[in-house]
């Protein structure tokens, strides 16, 4: 990287000169005779291992009233009642080790780490793979005992790159709705994913949860963080008003599943087994599991890594203050060798032990490219690891701090050329062109009032920005999307841009039929989906985007009530025609590699309409309220790869039309035709309503493009 000085940042001091441990036995490793404990604490003067029967003192007090309480102070003089303590002995490269015969699965532990200046820190094990309630103590775990029945036969689903469709959700949001059909005791948990036949209110008419995903046709579920995070009190029942809600972007124990999603957070092995059952169930449905991971910051600057090795894990400015490029109070120093090692090991562990199919990196723009590439290399070395997906956000919240002499390149947009071409990135350029600027909610985009301004951008987006300054090394790197958990949902953004002051009826999508109050919002939503799913690259959507999900204008619902965040399955049923539209677009892509990576031949036009050829198809997006025409003669332009065969001018048939009043070819067989729950706004019928208009057809060498429509045309083939 000598040709690039590094990413601009505030100056930071050099990385502390500490030894790097290369062994693979950090943490607690049980065997039939006992457990070996090893930690990396090169600046410590001594380390004491403490063993407990319970994962918390509250639990101990309930079982053994004489047990004292651990107040989590950092003084070595506190004695919260361990049943045994052992001094660790110094080992190679700054490690400390203890061998404890007779100690095994289910024993909880922590450390007292002493330093030459006389201070001491109580800490859990940063390398732990299991923990007690709220993650304050680590747990020895025999991972083989956490495997559900049939785990040894679990395999990652084979999904070709051109069939990849990513649907993002939160473990709680997925099934928290009382109408989800999931039993109360499993709503909002890992086990909700193990039901494959749920429906709205259990009535059987409209599928929910995993059954819904199979019907929709998505091939990968991206789950918001489900490692152990610090913002939720796991000891509280999920229906306790004090329990709260959080997205989970506040890592506490990155190698341990979150306990609040389990049926029993007090016993460390339960969350592991139930997390594996969730993954196993999605795999059985043919769906990949992508894990949203946060390695750019920690829940608190006072974390296990900093308690174990003060001053090493987090970036600091030259004055000693913490860097805050994450906007969360601290940034992980991913460029420090042992932090890079920690992150690589963590990703490999989730991929191998939990059979994770892919990883989405939060604020990837704060992680250095060497670490990202090291992860890619390590995954590729696993059996089948080359199929494990990697993508992330190529930005940060703010500027971080880096040693100016180190030449560190971060994986932001400037660093993308230095990443493996098999590491993808979210394309916010497409997002903002389609719906309007992310930070200015009322600013319109192509579909919400500024079609003429953004038409050229949509033409570039359709081809994954190839041939522009936004081009990446591989089309597979381009994650095409218009909504994710961050900021406004697509529906709420459309409400903000197209209404300025949205009413509750707008958020509720009360009347989306042709001529209805929300018909224009629904048309814009349909077209947004059409652009994403016909563009080159990997399509991605926020769960519920396909049924106009609303959070009533809340642009940052990370700790808003669960009632605001959860998926509304009755809304999905009521707006089933929009769901059918997404299902049809997914089927259009699946099995058709041209849509994923094929070059687009953009048809020149001087208006807002976007028309392009891809493979045997022609896609047209008309964002205005009048019918536009497209000459078929212009479609005879030779396509890429020296294809010169002419097309008969009238030999195009409309395969699909998404517009008010039209019968939408592939959607007619989608099977979403169910009652509209007695509410208005059922949208146009997707299942062959006799009153629906026939699909458009070519006349006089012209394709009619109805108002506010996306149409897909397919050419005939001749020998």
Structure confidence at residue 53 (pLDDT): 96
User: Is the residue at 271 inside a domain?
Assistant: no
Q: Is 591 exposed, middle or buried (0-12, 13-18, 19+ CB in 10 A)?
A: exposed
Is residue 114 within 8 Å of 76, Cβ to Cβ? yes
Which of 484, 463, 286, 476 minimizes the C-alpha distance to 393? 484
Q: Which residues of 537-575 are buried (b: 16+ CB within 10 A; e: fewer)?
A: bbbbbbbbbbbbbbbeebeebbebebeebbbbbbbbbbb
Structure confidence at residue 274 (pLDDT): 98
Half-sphere exposure of 662 (CA within 13 A, CB side): 24
Q: Give the SS3 label for residue 591.
A: coil
Sign of torsion over alpha carbons 16, 17, 23, 28:
negative
Structure tokens at 385: 């690891």
Which of 180, 210, 217 minimizes the C-alpha distance to 195? 210
The DSSP H or E segment spanning 51 is: strand 46-52
Beta-strand ranges (E) seen in 208-247 are 220-223, 227-229
Owning domain of residue 114: 27-61+80-145
Q: What's the CA gap between 191 and 209, in Å, rounded?
A: 11
Angle at 298 between CA 255 and CA 221, to 5 degrees: 55
Is residue 265 within 8 Å of 234, Cβ to Cβ? yes
Place of tokens 């994650």: 479
Residue 117 belongs to domain with CATH number: 2.60.40.10
User: Is the residue at 556 inside a domain?
Assistant: no
Structure confidence at residue 80 (pLDDT): 57
pTM for this structure? Answer: 0.94
Structure tokens at 382: 């696993």
Q: Which residues of the chain have pLDDT under 50?
A: 1-2, 67-71, 73-79, 644, 667-669, 673-690, 718-719
The DSSP H or E segment spanning 341 is: helix 337-353
Q: What's the CA gap between 718 and 648, in Å, rounded?
A: 10
Is residue 415 within 8 Å of 448, Cβ to Cβ? no
Q: Which residues of 371-410 are buried (b: 16+ CB within 10 A; e: fewer)?
A: bbbbbbebbeeeeebebbbbbbbbbbbeebbbbbeeebbb
The DSSP H or E segment spanning 630 is: strand 628-631
Number of domains in the chain: 1
- Residue 393 designated active-site: yes
- End-to-end C-alpha distance for the chain, whole angstroms: 53
Q: What's the CA gap between 687 and 692, in Å, rounded?
A: 10
Is residue 55 within 8 Å of 137, Cβ to Cβ? yes
Angle at 331 between CA 326 and CA 332, to 5 degrees: 135
Q: Give the SS3 label for residue 119.
A: coil
Is residue 133 within 8 Å of 56, Cβ to Cβ? yes
Which residues are 345's β-sheet partners?
A: none
User: Is the residue at 131 inside a domain?
Assistant: yes
> Active-site residue among 177, 362, 506, 568?
362
Which of 194, 337, 334, 317 minimizes the C-alpha distance to 254? 334
Which of 136, 171, 133 minimizes the C-alpha distance to 264? 133
User: Is the residue at 121 inside a domain?
Assistant: yes
- What region, left, alpha or beta, does residue 60 occupy, with left being phi > 0 and alpha being psi -120 to 50 degrees? alpha
Structure confidence at residue 428 (pLDDT): 97
pLDDT tens for each residue of 325-381: 999 999 999 999 999 999 999 999 999 999 999 999 999 999 999 999 999 999 999
User: Is the residue at 124 inside a domain?
Assistant: yes
**How much of the chain is helix, strand and coil, in % rounded to 5?**
30, 20, 50
Q: Give the SS3 label for residue 659.
A: coil
Q: What's the CA gap between 380 and 358, in Å, rounded?
A: 12
Give the rounded distance of the alpha carbon of 183 from its chain centre. Answer: 26
> Active-site residue among 393, 520, 568, 608?
393
Is residue 427 within 8 Å of 480, Cβ to Cβ? yes
Q: What's the CA gap between 7 and 396, in Å, rounded?
A: 12
Q: What's the CA gap between 210 and 221, in Å, rounded?
A: 10
Is residue 39 within 8 Å of 73, Cβ to Cβ? no
- Residue 152 designated active-site: no
Structure confidence at residue 75 (pLDDT): 37
Is residue 323 within 8 Å of 360, Cβ to Cβ? no
Q: Angle, to 10 degrees, between the axis of helix 337-353 and the axis of helix 369-380?
A: 30
Residues with Cβ within 8 Å of 695's Cβ and at least 6 positions away in sequence, in order, are 653, 654, 657, 662, 663, 665
User: Is the residue at 414 inside a domain?
Assistant: no
User: Is the residue at 622 inside a domain?
Assistant: no
Residue 13 DSSP label:
P
User: Is the residue at 412 inside a domain?
Assistant: no
């Amino acid at each position: 990287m000598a040709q690039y000085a590094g990413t601009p940042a505030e100056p930071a001091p050099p990385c502390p000169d500490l030894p790097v441990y290369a062994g693979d036995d950090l943490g607690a490793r049980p065997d039939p005779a006992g457990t070996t404990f090893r930690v990396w604490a090169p600046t410590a003067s001594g380390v004491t291992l403490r063993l407990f029967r319970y994962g918390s003192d509250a639990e101990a007090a309930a079982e053994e009233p004489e047990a004292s309480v651990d107040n989590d102070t950092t003084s070595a003089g506190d004695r919260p009642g361990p049943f045994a303590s052992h001094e660790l002995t110094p080992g190679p490269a700054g490690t400390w080790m203890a061998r404890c015969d007779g100690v095994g699965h289910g024993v909880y532990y922590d450390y007292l780490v002493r330093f030459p200046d006389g201070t001491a820190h109580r800490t859990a094990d940063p390398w732990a793979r299991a923990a007690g309630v709220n993650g304050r103590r680590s747990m020895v775990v025999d991972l083989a005992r956490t495997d559900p029945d049939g785990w040894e036969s679990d395999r990652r689903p084979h999904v070709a790159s051109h069939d990849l469709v990513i649907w993002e959700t939160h473990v709680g949001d997925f099934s928290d709705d009382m109408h989800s059909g999931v039993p109360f005791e499993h709503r909002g948990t890992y086990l909700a994913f193990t039901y494959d036949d749920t429906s709205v209110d259990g009535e059987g008419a409209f599928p929910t949860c995993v059954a819904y995903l199979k019907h929709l046709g998505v091939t990968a579920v991206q789950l918001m963080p489900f490692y152990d995070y610090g913002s939720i009190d796991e000891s509280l029942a999920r229906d306790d008003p004090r329990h709260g809600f959080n997205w989970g972007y506040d890592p506490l124990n990155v190698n341990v599943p979150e306990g609040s999603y389990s049926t029993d957070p007090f016993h460390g092995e339960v969350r592991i087994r139930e997390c594996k059952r969730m993954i196993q169930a999605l795999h059985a449905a043919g769906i990949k599991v992508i894990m949203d991971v946060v390695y750019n910051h920690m829940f608190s600057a006072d974390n296990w890594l900093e308690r174990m090795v003060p001053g090493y894990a987090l970036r600091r400015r030259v004055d000693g203050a913490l860097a805050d490029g994450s906007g969360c109070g601290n940034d992980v120093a991913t460029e420090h060798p042992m932090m890079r090692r920690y992150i690589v090991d963590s990703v490999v562990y989730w991929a191998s032990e939990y059979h994770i199919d892919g990883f989405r990196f939060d604020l990837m723009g704060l992680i250095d490219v060497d670490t990202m590439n090291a992860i890619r290399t390590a995954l590729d070395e696993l059996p089948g690891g080359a199929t494990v997906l990697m993508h992330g956000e190529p930005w940060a919240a703010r500027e971080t701090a880096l040693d100016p002499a180190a030449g560190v390149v971060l994986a932001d947009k400037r660093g993308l050329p230095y990443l493996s071409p098999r590491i993808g990135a979210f394309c916010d350029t497409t997002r903002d062109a389609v719906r309007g600027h992310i930070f200015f909610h009322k600013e319109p985009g192509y579909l919400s009032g500024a079609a003429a301004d953004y038409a050229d951008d949509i033409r570039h987006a359709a081809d994954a920005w190839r041939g522009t300054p936004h081009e990446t090394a591989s089309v597979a790197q381009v994650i095409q999307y218009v909504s994710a958990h961050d900021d406004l949902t697509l529906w709420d953004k459309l409400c903000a841009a197209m209404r300025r002051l949205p009413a509750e009826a707008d958020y509720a999508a009360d009347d989306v039929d042709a001529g209805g109050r929300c018909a224009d919002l629904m048309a814009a939503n349909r077209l947004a989906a059409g652009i994403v799913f016909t563009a080159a690259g990997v399509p991605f959507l926020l769960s519920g985007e396909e049924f106009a999900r609303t959070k009533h204008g809340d642009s940052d619902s990370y700790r808003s009530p669960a009632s605001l965040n959860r998926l509304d399955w009755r809304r999905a049923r009521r707006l089933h025609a929009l769901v059918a539209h997404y299902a049809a677009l997914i089927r259009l892509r699946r099995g058709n590699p041209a849509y994923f990576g094929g070059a687009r031949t953009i048809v020149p036009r001087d208006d807002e309409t976007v028309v392009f050829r891809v493979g045997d198809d022609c896609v047209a997006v008309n964002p205005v309220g009048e019918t536009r025409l497209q000459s078929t003669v212009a479609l005879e332009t030779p396509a890429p790869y020296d294809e010169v065969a002419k097309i008969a001018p009238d030999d195009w048939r409309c395969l699909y039309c998404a517009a008010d009043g039209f019968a939408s070819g592939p959607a007619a067989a989608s099977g979403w035709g169910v009652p509209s729950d007695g509410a208005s706004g059922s949208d146009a019928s997707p299942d062959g309503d006799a009153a629906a208009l026939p699909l458009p057809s070519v006349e006089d060498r012209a394709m009619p493009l109805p108002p506010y429509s996306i149409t897909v045309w397919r050419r005939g083939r001749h020998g």
